[in-house]
Amino acid sequence: MSRRELIATIIVAAIAFPLIFIFTGAVADARARAREAPFRALLGNARFEQLMDGQGGVPHYLGASLRAPDFTLPEQGGGEWKMSEQRGKVIVMNFWTVTCRPCIQEMPTIELLAEITEDWGDVEVVAVSTDRSWEEAQTIIPHTSRITSLLDVDRKVVTQQFGTKLFPETWIIDGDGVVRFRFDGALDWSNPVALDLIRAYR
For the stretch 147-166, pLDDT in tens is 999 999 999 999 999 999 99
What average pLDDT does the chain have? 89
Whether the model clears a pTM of 0.75, i.e. scores above it, the answer is yes
Amino acid 25: pLDDT: 47
Amino acid 10: pLDDT: 66
For the stretch 69-102, pLDDT in tens is 999 999 999 999 999 999 999 999 999 999 999 9
Amino acid 54: pLDDT: 86
More confident residue, 11 or 47: 47
Asked if pLDDT for residue 171 goes beyond 60, the answer is yes
**What mean pLDDT comes out for the span 124-132?**
98
Residues 57 and 191: their CA atoms lie apart, in Å, by: 25
Residues 77 and 143: their CA atoms lie apart, in Å, by: 7
CB within 8 A of 83, min separation 6: which ones?
68, 69, 70, 71, 72, 91, 177
Amino acid 195: pLDDT: 97
Q: Which H/E stretch holds residue 106?
A: helix 101-117
